[in-house]
Chains A and B, each alone.
Chain A
């Protein structure tokens, strides 16, 4: 039972572009969405830059009754799912309800909504807490709301594995399709840019305190000094290849392989496990390292983590043997939304034959990376690897192939 699973629709909400077209136009042009925070006044905090999704007006996209009961991340996810279904040419009402499921990744849930209700609780009293709090903030909200909006009764799921979780959710979606469901809406959209979320993010000590957008998030660079958080992500429509073929769907490509590992306990002296995750994904895809045409790196922006990733890539592919890129230098790190957005970027890159750049980075020579910097690089792309890591030691890797690959 290893039926092929393909991606037939993309819905993107990214800091450098709302909508797939806007995102890709910005990304291929090296246009960043990182700027000073506007959603609250960040002056008192050490970190003040973020990637905020521009121009999103929920009222224009969603029924008014949904607005008071949803966090921004859910509003973005619902709209991204609408766009992804539309892109795939799917009208959910035409399909069997039990044959469509929703499996997303989550990170912090609807944290901004949660801050508002915590403020009501502690500032005013328990009776002021919203009737929507019970389901607006929890981690399962996006899967639940997408399934309700689109009448999808098939397998559901929600995975949390920090920034690696976006790939784990897509892998779980592929698993459920292999078990017999034709279509799964997957991916992730996150948004934690509120004061309470910000303070919690800062406590990781990994946020860049640089105030210059072009210098703040420079993974693999001598000047790497942490990352900039972003919001958004991507929703993907996954289908069994046979179902997609039967309805004559346009196919972006295949989810070909996946591997996940966890690092040894800090201080235990064990080997980092990222290399193993990549190798498992390649084996699962039946792809040799030499067949991979581009790597979308995790690009943590911490010297130690950057080195670990560079070492893993060099060990698997050889020094400078494969083009590597991290377009997330234009969006910031989107936590659970990051890897689905990288998957979308990988499919768009393969479609156009163009590797988007890692802006603002001059890689440390010792890392032995062929990092695509400054300008996009034209290339024949059939197979891409997406790498995602989460705080604590989560490693996930996914191999995708373009539809043209044989």
Chain B
């Protein structure tokens, strides 16, 4: 490769429990949870009735009435987060060659919410197979093709370089940022506005996860519904949100005096080639992704200070990734804090990978690792240090964050302090 290094210089998070990066970090540091009974629609017909919803007002976040109308909620999240990330980085995009500024937006399920609503109308409640185009909204095409999200972000930040959506299910949030980092590293671009967004809390999503019992049926006490690594966990809690970053080539970022959160030191994705939704307990493919990401970072496993886990709260996931950490890091896995923020903000499918990258760089910033909330009685087969209940002061110079998703995709990213590493 060219030796170019990639750093994160701006971030904005929209997550359940309070919009904005600051509110997000306070939630994590306090170990509070943002899961609640679903309010967007009546969840009583569903097996799973809880979710981590955002109290989001497009107007308050500066979206115009037309922007609000033409964009699905997930696109709105992406645009708001992108604007916030650019503001946070202090970058002036128009000072760059616009063809060398690109955009990637990760999303697992695109405009699911908009599609679900519009289908209900054009089909007249599922009655019409030959759906009625007379009732279609003019921007339905933007819901059909989620690349409209990336277009909206490119327009709002003024990027004219490579632009697209990365949609690898629940690893989209890591893969979108990894893809963007690769574009900078290879020299195609100098700046990427990269992140991910999903707003999947709609009846069709709840129904399809109900059908495979992936989401938790625990709805008597919503704040404690998401409990990764706990012996009593029985499925994930759906969430929504977005996180977007400004990625820059290191030398350029240093030249303009940018605040650098972290370097994207290594990234890899691998597939299990096993099952669209199932995981083998050995975690070998995730372990391989971790190994390759560490290799790209030119780091040893024992340099990892914190593992931000996928930690969805399904039994198969928690055991799968626990095995993957042991395979890839050996004994160091037992000495390293591991936690799942999905215990607090739920699982926002394609968005969560980016939200977890945000949590990782904030952990580095504060030297505090967020906890795994609701973890009272660990599954005996999950025997690592999952930082139960309370955040922990911990010197954090390098973080491994991982994702695992439908399709069999396994992704890993290594984030490290850029001034700590020698190229």
Contacts of B162 in A (CB 8 A): 168, 260-262
Please tell me if the beta carbons of B271 and A154 are within 8 angstroms of each other in the complex: yes
Please tell me if the beta carbons of A45 and B133 are within 8 angstroms of each other in the complex: yes
Please tell me if the beta carbons of A260 and B163 are within 8 angstroms of each other in the complex: yes
Contacts of B214 in A (CB 8 A): 134
Q: Does A204 contact B (CB under 8 A)?
A: yes
Within the complex, what minimum Cβ distance (angstroms) separates B111 from chain A?
Answer: 10
Q: Does A319 contact B (CB under 8 A)?
A: no
Contacts of A198 in B (CB 8 A): 133
Stretch of A7-15, A120-128, A360-368, A370-378 at the chain-chain interface: A120-128
Please tell me if the beta carbons of A156 and B122 are within 8 angstroms of each other in the complex: no
Please tell me if the beta carbons of A126 and B210 are within 8 angstroms of each other in the complex: yes
Q: Would A153 and B139 be within 8 Å (CB), given that A138-B108, A201-B144 are in contact? A: no
Which of A69, A135, A143 has the largest number of chain B CB atoms within 10 A? A135
Q: Does B307 contact A (CB under 8 A)?
A: no
Residues of B395-423 at the interface with A, using a CB-CB cut-off of 8 Å, are 405-409
Please tell me if the beta carbons of B144 and A168 are within 8 angstroms of each other in the complex: no
Q: Would A203 and B139 be within 8 Å (CB), given that A156-B271, A260-B161, A260-B163 are in contact? A: yes
Interface residues on A, range: 35 or more
A155-175 near B? 1/0 per residue, CB < 8 Å: 111111110110010001001
Contacts of A107 in B (CB 8 A): 145
Q: Would A199 and B406 be within 8 Å (CB), given that A135-B277, A148-B273, A151-B273 are in contact? A: no
Q: Does A90 contact B (CB under 8 A)?
A: no
Please tell me if the beta carbons of B408 and A144 are within 8 angstroms of each other in the complex: yes
Contacts of B108 in A (CB 8 A): 138-140
Contacts of A97 in B (CB 8 A): 273
Q: Does B175 contact A (CB under 8 A)?
A: yes
Residues of B60-84 at the interface with A, using a CB-CB cut-off of 8 Å, are none
Q: Would A123 and B168 be within 8 Å (CB), given that A144-B408, A145-B276, A160-B146 are in contact? A: no
Please tell me if the beta carbons of A262 and B125 are within 8 angstroms of each other in the complex: no
A201 CA / B133 CA spacing, docked (Å): 10
Within the complex, what minimum Cβ distance (angstroms) separates A202 from chain B?
Answer: 6
Please tell me if the beta carbons of A161 and B271 are within 8 angstroms of each other in the complex: no
A98 CA / B147 CA spacing, docked (Å): 29
Contacts of B274 in A (CB 8 A): 148
Q: Does B120 contact A (CB under 8 A)?
A: yes
Residues of B259-279 at the interface with A, using a CB-CB cut-off of 8 Å, are 268-277
A121 CA / B1 CA spacing, docked (Å): 50
A156 CA / B110 CA spacing, docked (Å): 19
Contacts of B257 in A (CB 8 A): none
Q: Does A280 contact B (CB under 8 A)?
A: yes
A366 CA / B12 CA spacing, docked (Å): 48
Residues of B162-209 at the interface with A, using a CB-CB cut-off of 8 Å, are 162-169, 172, 175, 179, 182, 186, 203-204, 206-209
Q: Interface majority SS on B: helix, strand, loop or mixed?
A: mixed
Please tell me if the beta carbons of B273 and A139 are within 8 angstroms of each other in the complex: no
Contacts of A347 in B (CB 8 A): none
A188 CA / B96 CA spacing, docked (Å): 33
Number of A-B contacts (CB under 8 A): 270
Contacts of B132 in A (CB 8 A): 199
Please tell me if the beta carbons of A102 and B271 are within 8 angstroms of each other in the complex: yes
Contacts of A124 in B (CB 8 A): 126
Stretch of A111-119, A298-306, A398-406 at the chain-chain interface: A111-119
Please tell me if the beta carbons of B270 and A134 are within 8 angstroms of each other in the complex: no
Within the complex, what minimum Cβ distance (angstroms) separates B297 from chain A?
Answer: 14
Contacts of A154 in B (CB 8 A): 270-271
Contacts of A197 in B (CB 8 A): 144
Please tell me if the beta carbons of A161 and B147 are within 8 angstroms of each other in the complex: yes
Within the complex, what minimum Cβ distance (angstroms) separates B418 from chain A?
Answer: 21
Within the complex, what minimum Cβ distance (angstroms) separates A39 from chain B?
Answer: 12
Which of B110, B154, B168, B207 is close to A157, meaning CB atoms less than 8 Å apart?
B168
Please tell me if the beta carbons of A157 and B179 are within 8 angstroms of each other in the complex: yes
Q: Does B87 contact A (CB under 8 A)?
A: no
Q: Does A323 contact B (CB under 8 A)?
A: no
Q: Does B27 contact A (CB under 8 A)?
A: no
Q: Which residue of A has the minimal Cβ distance to B137?
A: A203
Please tell me if the beta carbons of B269 and A155 are within 8 angstroms of each other in the complex: yes
Within the complex, what minimum Cβ distance (angstroms) separates A209 from chain B?
Answer: 12
Please tell me if the beta carbons of A161 and B163 are within 8 angstroms of each other in the complex: yes
Contacts of A46 in B (CB 8 A): 133
Q: Does B380 contact A (CB under 8 A)?
A: no
Please tell me if the beta carbons of B126 and A135 are within 8 angstroms of each other in the complex: no
Please tell me if the beta carbons of B133 and A394 are within 8 angstroms of each other in the complex: no
Q: Does B151 contact A (CB under 8 A)?
A: yes
Q: Would A156 and B409 be within 8 Å (CB), given that A195-B130, A200-B140 are in contact? A: yes
A160 CA / B176 CA spacing, docked (Å): 11
Please tell me if the beta carbons of B126 and A106 are within 8 angstroms of each other in the complex: no
Q: Which residue of A has the minimal Cβ distance to B164?
A: A161
Within the complex, what minimum Cβ distance (angstroms) separates A308 from chain B?
Answer: 15
Within the complex, what minimum Cβ distance (angstroms) separates B386 from chain A?
Answer: 27
Q: Would A262 and B144 be within 8 Å (CB), given that A134-B211, A195-B131, A202-B136 are in contact? A: no
Please tell me if the beta carbons of A144 and B129 are within 8 angstroms of each other in the complex: no
Q: Does B19 contact A (CB under 8 A)?
A: no
Contacts of B110 in A (CB 8 A): 109, 139, 160
Residues of B98-151 at the interface with A, using a CB-CB cut-off of 8 Å, are 98-99, 102-103, 108-110, 115-116, 119-120, 122-123, 125-127, 129-133, 136-141, 143-148, 150-151
A321 CA / B33 CA spacing, docked (Å): 64
Q: Would A98 and B288 be within 8 Å (CB), given that A121-B207, A160-B167, A394-B151 are in contact? A: yes
Within the complex, what minimum Cβ distance (angstroms) separates B287 from chain A?
Answer: 11
Within the complex, what minimum Cβ distance (angstroms) separates A311 from chain B?
Answer: 17
Residues of A79-136 at the interface with B, using a CB-CB cut-off of 8 Å, are 97-98, 101-102, 106-109, 111, 114-115, 117-127, 129-131, 133-135
Within the complex, what minimum Cβ distance (angstroms) separates B256 from chain A?
Answer: 23
Contacts of A125 in B (CB 8 A): 45
Q: Would A153 and B163 be within 8 Å (CB), given that A111-B144, A121-B203, A122-B126 are in contact? A: no
Please tell me if the beta carbons of B406 and A134 are within 8 angstroms of each other in the complex: yes
Please tell me if the beta carbons of B145 and A393 are within 8 angstroms of each other in the complex: no
Please tell me if the beta carbons of B161 and A134 are within 8 angstroms of each other in the complex: no
Contacts of A64 in B (CB 8 A): none
Residues of A300-344 at the interface with B, using a CB-CB cut-off of 8 Å, are 335
Within the complex, what minimum Cβ distance (angstroms) separates B306 from chain A?
Answer: 25
Contacts of B154 in A (CB 8 A): 262, 393
Q: Would A126 and B144 be within 8 Å (CB), given that A44-B130, A161-B164 are in contact? A: no
Q: List 20 extra interface pairs beyond A40-B130, A161-B163, CB under 8 A.
A: A98-B270, A107-B145, A111-B144, A117-B208, A122-B119, A126-B203, A139-B108, A144-B169, A144-B271, A145-B407, A148-B274, A148-B276, A152-B273, A156-B168, A160-B166, A160-B167, A200-B143, A261-B99, A263-B160, A391-B148
A-B contacts, 12 listed (Cβ < 8 Å): A127-B211, A131-B211, A138-B109, A140-B169, A156-B407, A172-B179, A175-B186, A195-B131, A196-B122, A197-B144, A261-B160, A262-B159
The 5 closest A-B pairs by CB, nearest first: A144-B407, A123-B126, A122-B126, A392-B151, A139-B167
